[in-house]
Structure 1
Amino acid sequence: MLTDTAPYLSFVIPVYGSEKVLPELVSRLDAVMETMAETRQNYEVIFVCDQSPDRSWHVIQQLSARHPWVRGILLRMNAGQHNALMAGFAEARGQVVMTMDDDLQHSPSDIPTLLAELATGRDVVYARFKNRQHASWKVWGSRLNDKVAGYLMNKPADLYLSPFRAMRAAIVRDILRYTGPYVYVDGLVLSMTRNIGTVEVEHHDRFAGDSGYSLKKSISLWLKMATNFSIVPLRLTSFAGLVMAGVGFILAVLLVIQKFTLDAMPIGWSSLIVTILMIGGVQLVALGMLGEYLGRVLLTLNSRPQYVIGETVGLLAKEEEQA
């Protein structure tokens, strides 16, 4: 039965395509929590079902009926992993909030390791994986994202951004102050604290099913990081424009010299077309980048919601409203 007493630890776990995994995940979480004095009977698990195409929401309802510490949020529309996290953060009551994937690639047995590092005075602790049980394109994409994040957001080089993280409640409250529709949790974390630790853990095979994180979603997440938390892309397009202008000026000088030193000006249609295409390409890229920024500004000003909740189970506030 739910009480007003805030738990020590809140898990916020986005769910997509994991109906076969959730019972095992809950069982393993419970087993680990019972071995720790501070979390025994003093934690909650908030599953945020991001319009999963399978029966995940039905499974969450069943788990909540059997385990009073399991809560559930069903989003009316698919919002994406980071937006789903915001929905869970808004309901989390713990002194510490931990996020992890729903597929058991993040082992609950590593939770004490993250909490121990957090207890040393850290604001946030990330798990760094010794090995990655992902497809090659995901591994390389993650490395590229890590390098880009270091440049765009001044991320420390030794910090690995993973979805397996532990945060103090104060950091989560600061994250919730962000109301824009394009959420990138790691970008928000880096804008609020640099007191961040890492611990090394194992990365495991997915327990069941297939990952719902596609290349399209990965690119969308990269764009959130690039355009919501940095103006570097705009500066890069300005720099590219300056470079092209410089190249054009140099070519103009060379053509003037050529005009006075040669009897006849050679016809160079190929070079002319290449130059036009290069300059036009840079201009289109710059316009596209500006359009991306302006589109996001428009949607933010129009108060596009981060997520829309369709149904909940096990949440204290909702039960009180129904009573």
Structure 2
Amino acid sequence: MPLPQLSVVVPIHNEKDNVAALLAEIAAVLRGRLEWEAVFVDDLSSDASLTVMQGLKAEYPELRILSHRSQCGQSTALHNGVRAARAAWVVTLDGDGQNDPADIPGLLAERERAAPSVRLFAGWRVNRRDSGSKRWASRWANAIRAWLLKDDTPDTGCGIKLFEREAFLALPYFDHMHRYLPALMQRAGWSTVSVPVNHRHRLNGVSKYTNWGRALVGVRDLLGVSWLIARSKRTQTVEY
């Protein structure tokens, strides 16, 4: 099998009713367009998510499944999926089906038009389909983050992103890092672009986060990322 041109990495935790439909949508968008693979990372689901995914391999040879031996969270699942990915560029999607795989071609088109310095194309949910309280909490969190980090990104929490694998793996890893990818990429010297994308209602299952839980860890992480940015130094080098 030739090396894929694109790896689609999807963290999964208790999404047994969503994984089949999501993979079918990914395949419908990418088959015949380019060589691709889907890396689904099961974060020790307590439902039948892993069994469902194993049953899909016969129909989707592009599917690869990684399974955690202990539950580690979304950032670790993403990081392990990207490390296992074989393509130079990676698209990430949330496993709940709220991100639309139909937006992947648009992200790829933005990459073709962008300068070489852009290594991250971040989805921007212009019409969010979450509850009012969740939208309100995200609006305040994004405002505080933008004020403190100056990352010029309206929506860092969107799960659909396109980035260069090598650039991602060079970033400092920590839990919840996926919420700060634009700021971390910029800290590393790369440019980022926000791309308007679709957002859908969750049809099955329940959210893994609460507003309070997200806020409590967010304060600590935000201060940590701010410290990383303040302590970073970059310069060009000349070899003789």
Deviation at 1:14, TM superposition (A): 0.7
Is 1:29 aligned to 2:26, yes or no?
A: yes
User: Are the counterparts in 2 of residues 126 and 166 from structure 1 also a CA contact under 8 Å?
Assistant: yes
User: Are the counterparts in 1 of residues 74 and 176 from structure 2 also a CA contact under 8 Å?
Assistant: no
1:163 alignment partner in structure 2: 159
1:210 counterpart letter in structure 2? V
Deviation at 1:8, TM superposition (A): 0.4
2:188 alignment partner in structure 1: 192
Higher helix share: 1
Deviation at 1:90, TM superposition (A): 1.0
Determine which of 121, 124, 127 is the counterpart of 1:125: 121
Deviation at 1:216, TM superposition (A): 4.9
Deviation at 1:130, TM superposition (A): 2.2
Match of 1:119, SS? helix
For normalisation by structure 1, the TM-score amounts to 0.63
Determine which of 149, 154, 174 is the counterpart of 1:153: 149
1:88 alignment partner in structure 2: 81
Deviation at 1:18, TM superposition (A): 1.0
1:12 counterpart letter in structure 2? V
Is 1:52 aligned to 2:45, yes or no?
A: yes
1:92 counterpart letter in structure 2? A
2:12 alignment partner in structure 1: 15
Distance 1:63 1:217, change over 3 A: farther
Alignment deviations for residues 192-241 of structure 1 (CA, whole Å, 9 cap, x no partner): 24511122122111132222222354135413532321249xxxxxxxxx
User: Are the counterparts in 2 of residues 184 and 221 from structure 1 also a CA contact under 8 Å?
Assistant: no
For normalisation by structure 2, the TM-score amounts to 0.83
Deviation at 1:117, TM superposition (A): 0.5
Match of 2:142, SS? helix
Distance 1:190 1:142, change over 3 A: farther
Distance 1:108 1:210, change over 3 A: same
Q: Distance in 2 between matches of 1:127 and 1:63?
A: 27
Distance 1:194 1:95, change over 3 A: closer
Match of 2:54, SS? helix
Deviation at 1:91, TM superposition (A): 0.3
Query: Which structure has the greater CA radius of gyration?
Result: 1
Q: Distance in 2 between matches of 1:22 and 1:212?
A: 16
User: Are the counterparts in 1 of residues 185 and 192 from structure 2 also a CA contact under 8 Å?
Assistant: no
Distance 1:205 1:57, change over 3 A: same
Match of 1:10, SS? strand
CA RMSD of aligned residues (A): 2.1
Distance 1:203 1:72, change over 3 A: same
2:210 alignment partner in structure 1: 214
Alignment deviations for residues 252-294 of structure 1 (CA, whole Å, 9 cap, x no partner): xxxxxxxxxxxxxxxxxxxxxxxxxxxxxxxxxxxxxxxxxxx
1:97 alignment partner in structure 2: 90
2:66 alignment partner in structure 1: 73
Q: Distance in 2 between matches of 1:223 and 1:85?
A: 21
Aligned length: 221
Alignment deviations for residues 72-110 of structure 1 (CA, whole Å, 9 cap, x no partner): 111122212112111111101112101111122111111
Match of 2:57, SS? helix
Q: Distance in 1 between matches of 2:52 and 2:220?
A: 31
Deviates more, 1:71-80 or 1:85-94: 71-80
Alignment deviations for residues 160-215 of structure 1 (CA, whole Å, 9 cap, x no partner): 2122110022322323xx35x43413243342245111221221111322222223
2:210 counterpart letter in structure 1? S
Deviation at 1:35, TM superposition (A): 4.9
Q: Distance in 1 between matches of 2:220 and 2:89?
A: 26
Distance 1:217 1:9, change over 3 A: farther
Deviation at 1:60, TM superposition (A): 1.6
2:233 alignment partner in structure 1: none
Deviation at 1:49, TM superposition (A): 1.0
In structure 1, list runs of 5 or more residues that go unmatched.
233-323
